[in-house]
Structure 1
């Protein structure tokens, strides 16, 4: 398609950008502003783009070019259809409702099914305690632990908490068979299903039971939320910047589907009417995703369904990329299986919108195939000269550019901070090869693997690289490198042609995502034995020789707590013998006194910070403690908090598609070791080009030792720790850089070597709320200086 005076036509993309940017700015200042206008503009712009694609860009010079061009266009049309489903779903923001409980004499009986197979008992304990602790005006709640592993320790755990332990003689139909076994051995009017890691809040029943006063309501679905970081957040050091990868579906799309009675049952955090389940023969069997099929059948039976937008239960996201792939492989194959057995397009009883949304949910799982087509198309040109797009750079600027900008900004307007278009691309690229293989195998009817439970609660002790997962990405990156070299340097006939520019840009776009996908395969250790919940509530600590002193609860888990106690007249640095073990009990509001022992203690100028490990808790104490944890506003991070660098906004959103930024900032770290107490002023460098960053790092390392006063800090008080009798107090200063920091520890770059096994006290203002005792776990030689990995004592399973 030849365009004369094409630069005049750039007014069109410029106008689109100005309008969409204005709508985006308005939506940031007033939620909901420009919501529907952005959707309408984006749909119109995409229709214009696809019309241009159909009429002017399909190659006709060779059959292989034409076939490749049609295949690429088909994928783009399917992508538009999927986006259209999202736009329709989110056209009107969901307005949830609150329904109070009926009078006590009308309350239904509730049976809670906790499905388990081989999950850790420590994980089940928290879930059972949460279920037992749910508030309800009557005693009409029974908790069933549906144990397909038939484990003695699980039976004992259930009996401790007054729950009913159910087993069966076989494992037929996996989770669906397990739940159906419980359904046949219970008689409650309402059924709650919980995964082994999903802990309900105390108000779970208060937020759900009242809705069933409507006799046509079949089930209520609450979002699956997570109180740990998923592999994307954790491996990319982005827990404070990126929302959980599942939040967009679990909390945004599900809310939109509720308007069309198309809420999907997702296996947990759900309440059913027993009669609705029985009307479809119980939980669906014969497919991997019994949850999707069961919800589909209930809606086909003309029952109404609702979505509860509140977080009333939360659990653990997969803790590494390999486990996430197992989970997504199961979802992919299960969705395709369900569509084959109960086709939403032909299943009786469904509305037109239900058929569309369920079909769209199945088509979504072919995203791996679609992404591979997008990635391979420019490689076919660069390697073999196959042309899939017959157009010019000028035409792309006129038709493709405004479409791309519209899609990104519209997504930011209607979704907000729960997802970005750029990160969606990265999420999908990381899973593309594996999901493409799963979708293709299931579609062709190839042998299905045995059902696999997604591992949860299993910490990774060492850093690993998932070669098998990364290998397809590395192959694609190698092909991209070869193609770029061949296309740019070894094919003079392609020089200065529009096709070369287009395909090089296209190839580089996906190379960025593939590089990040490989980065995700570097799995960081998860050393913690239990997730800690940040707290800020009053607490009283009982000291063996100093009496009881008030303080603040910093964080809390079922294993222990961290508390901060200010100095006072009765507790001062001079008279305080810094012994962690002198702390014998904590008095926590709404829980009472919990005995235990201090595992570490750190003095500062303001007071003392103590790590406390509980003695074995009684079931009653565990139930109370779980209630305190789950009712904390910090248990599950709010999705509306201000994000540091989520690429969803204006020009940052456009730039973020190809150059995601990192949250650099300036801080200090102070360390006291058992060999020499030193003050380390550490610079975390501001954003900037890689070369500038490297020069700053080199300049920082040029400083060897400077006096403590010059660093602008004070020497730390050395404190006692169970692992060492004393730490020296020789102050000094050393410049270093914090490479990363997480719950379990931190990684430092420094000029001088630290000895493995050395104990250190780390204070990083702005990153650590309190000083931390840490142990040097490893030291590596670098080109300049050393790199050291430090494990915080609070991440030690024994501490």
Structure 2
């Protein structure tokens, strides 16, 4: 394991994207034009372009476009406005984080911080690395830092590591509630003013408290999320180097010449599109203006008071729902208008006993759920912020199986909240917060219309049946300006972060998203698997059979359409074939990224294969 980490130790995280008011103004201008032209295009699609002879195809297609446009509106609202990068001064005492009027026994005492490493079956030596980094945390004022390893695996080896490093070892007899239950148990055993949530593979930087605790000078600040950074992402291999290995000096020259024409090309760079910079530096950071940056778990800092108040409020609401439901059942059964007060008292007592008080709800997406609970507390007005600078490092999924487990958990957990406890109708949330949370949940519904976008060119190329009345000048006059403006707006809005890989990954995600959606709609619980921290050996082509099917069907349909054009007598037209062939090519390139991820092998494996050949 030491050999694995040693090769990445010299890597440093990227700085946060700088704020530019000029670029933001240009983005807002282009985004506004995109919305106007996109609305004009959709109006024309609904009113003038549907193929009357194939409404079974035309209506789902334009409906998919409309739903995708709704997602675009939410995304534009999310990215609309940024804020300058700011790191507040760290407070010296706990009194500086409490606000005026707060009752504190000793406001001049140092701040107490509990660091929780939540672990289950990960290698104890991996956790040791995080412990060592946590022990190196610095702060410009006296501070009481307490490091706790919360081991749900009850492992003697993990206990021994804690004893060797002089940190607290916490465990419990059961795994009730999984990570959320683990954190609840840890909170019951500790008393720090603030909590830092760390996964088993999280390695905090020395500045994590110095840079983040200043946000808590605002007494309503409930938690601070810091960006997650995967420091072991594959950097890939230059095209010229790969060709040089395979073809010698000629291949190296060929690759170098090609790169001079189109720019640097790296093969195998972040094959699973794990780099979260787009999410943290753009999406979550720009939610600060709406007080809607939600917690993502690892590398987040929480005010204990806020977490416990939210737990009590949620507990009270759950008890009240149980009581009301019981009262309704009794009145329906007995046909009495009012239930006996003594019986109601007994029902309330039983509800209190049955309901679980937990700071983090026992849910696969406990982080975002707890965020919704806190944000909806109008009485206290709790706030959150996405801190701009990276303050820790962690491991990325290194194979498609691990990636799929992680993404299925994210999608299923979010969809479960959407369908069973929809935040859009939760009392207490502001309209901007509802829209921001809505953008997150809407994105997990996208596989429903992405399937149509993937199927549409196949249907046309195979049958000659189009979802539009004709691929003529009016169609291109309405669609091309919208597509060009959309690309320009997104390029400016996400300036500084490559976006193509993320867009293709979003499209190729459809099988995982559909499976998560089907699981939730069938009422099945999303499981709590721990994302593997070690690479799962082998190739994982079985996981990408749907993507392979898209490529094969698109390629076969394109060949058939070309043959049909040559033979004549079909519904195909040259503009229609060219348009759908290019569309299908874009779809295939998106699928190719995911298929390549299933086949990807670490460079070490490739080198070993070459040396033994």
**Considering the TM-score relative to the shorter chain, is it more than 0.5?**
yes
> Is the alpha carbon distance of 1:42 and 1:107 closer, same or farther for their aligned partners in structure 2, counting shifts above 3 Å?
farther
2:309 is aligned to 279
Q: 2:404 aligns with which of 300, 325, 335?
A: 325
* Distance across 1 between alignment mates of 2:305 and 2:497: 36
1:363 and 1:396, CA in 2 relative to 1: closer, same or farther beyond 3 A? same
Greater RCO, 1 or 2 (C-alpha within 8 Å, sep 6+):
2
CA contact (8 A) 2:230 2:275 kept: no
Residues 1:44 and 2:36 are matched in the alignment: yes
SS of residue matched to 1:135: coil
Aligned pair 1:258/2:280, yes or no? no
1:221/1:306 contact within 8 Å kept: yes
Give the conservation status (yes or no) of the 8 Å contact 1:121–1:153. Answer: yes
1:100 partner SS: coil
Q: Distance in 2 between matches of 1:403 and 1:510?
A: 19
Question: What is the CA distance between 1:401 and its match in structure 2?
Answer: 1.4
**1:702-732 CA-partner distances (Å, limit 9, x unpaired):** xxxxxxxxxxxxxxxxxxxxxxxxxxxxxxx
Equivalent position to 1:125, from 114, 124, 128? 128
Q: Residue in 2 aligned with 1:305?
A: 384
Deviation at 1:253, TM superposition (A): 0.8
| Paired position in structure 1 for 2:150 | 146
For the pair 1:76 / 2:73, whether they are aligned, the reply is no
1:292 pairs with 364, 368, 376, which one? 368
Structure 1 CA distance, aligned partners of 2:484 and 2:182? 48
Higher normalized helix content (fraction of residues): 2
The higher radius of gyration belongs to 1
Task: Name the structure 2 match of 1:355.
Answer: 434
- Deviation for aligned residue 1:238: 5.2
1:426 to 500, 504, 516: 504
- Using the TM superposition, give the Cα deviation of residue 252 of structure 1 relative to its aligned residue in structure 2, in angstroms: 1.2
In the other structure, the counterpart of 2:297 is 267
Counterpart mapping for 1:526-675 below 5 A: 527=604
1:341 aligned partner: 420
Q: Distance in 2 between matches of 1:492 and 1:33?
A: 52
1:626-677 Cα deviation digits (max 9, x unpaired): xxxxxxxxxxxxxxxxxxxxxxxxxxxxxxxxxxxxxxxxxxxxxxxxxxxx
- Output the CA distance in 1 between the equivalents of 2:510 and 2:472: 28
CA change 1:488–1:357 in 2 (3 A) is same
- Of 521, 527, 534 in structure 2, the residue corresponding to residue 450 of structure 1 is 527
Secondary structure of the residue that 1:516 maps to in structure 2? Answer: helix
Of 262-271 and 476-485, the range deviating more from structure 2: 476-485
Q: Secondary structure at the match of 2:570?
A: helix
Aligned length: 502
1:345 match: secondary structure: helix
**DSSP-derived class of the 2:172 partner:** coil
Distance 2:448 2:491 in 1: 25
Distance 2:371 2:235 in 1: 28
TM-score with structure 1 setting the length: 0.59
Could you tell me how far 1:32 is from its partner in structure 2?
4.4
1:384 CA displacement: 4.4
Contact 1:60 1:66 in 2 (8 A): yes
Task: Give the whole-Å Cα distance in 1 for the aligned partners of 2:572 and 2:603.
Answer: 50
2:596 & 2:272 partners in 1: Cα distance?
16
Q: Give the Cα separation in 1 of the matches to 2:570 and 2:292.
A: 54
8 Å Cα contact 1:90-1:414 kept in structure 2 = yes
Q: 1:483 aligns with which of 557, 562, 568?
A: 557
Shift of 1:501: 3.9
Distance change >3 Å, CA 495–CA 262, structure 1 → 2: closer
Query: Residue 365 of structure 1 corresponds to which residue in structure 2?
Result: 444
Equivalent residue, structure 2, for 1:517: 594
How big is the shift at 1:240?
9.1
Stretches of structure 1 lacking an aligned partner (at least 5 in a row): 1-26, 528-743, 748-755, 757-775, 780-799
Deviation of the 1:128 alpha carbon? 1.1
CA distance in 2, matches of 1:252, 1:166: 36
Alpha-carbon distance in structure 1 between the residues aligned to 2:310 and 2:203: 28
Query: Mind listing any 5+ residue stretches in structure 2 that lack a counterpart?
Result: 1-18, 94-107, 243-265, 312-357
Cα 1:349–1:233, aligned 2, differ >3 Å: closer, same or farther?
Answer: farther
Tell me, what secondary structure is at the counterpart of 2:453?
A: helix
The 1:300/1:233 distance shift into structure 2, 3 A limit, reads farther
Structure 2 distance, partners of 1:29, 1:297, is 33
- Which residue does the alignment assign to 1:211? 215
Cα offsets for 1:569-621 (capped at 9, x unmatched): xxxxxxxxxxxxxxxxxxxxxxxxxxxxxxxxxxxxxxxxxxxxxxxxxxxxx
Is the Cα–Cα contact under 8 Å of residues 288 and 337 in structure 1 kept in the other structure? Answer: no
**Alignment RMSD, CA only?**
2.8
Residues in 2 aligned to 1:232 and 1:81: alpha-carbon distance in whole angstroms: 36
Residues in 2 aligned to 1:233 and 1:292: alpha-carbon distance in whole angstroms: 37
Contact preservation (8 Å) 1:318, 1:455: yes
Going from structure 1 to structure 2, the CA distance change for 1:98 and 1:497 (only over 3 Å counts) comes to closer
CA shift in 2, pair 1:449/1:210, >3 Å: closer
1:237 and 1:262, CA in 2 relative to 1: closer, same or farther beyond 3 A? Answer: same
More strand by share: 1
Match of 1:468 among 520, 539, 542: 542
Instruction: Give the whole-Å Cα distance in 1 for the aligned partners of 2:569 and 2:196.
Output: 67
What residue in structure 1 maps to residue 190 of structure 2? 186
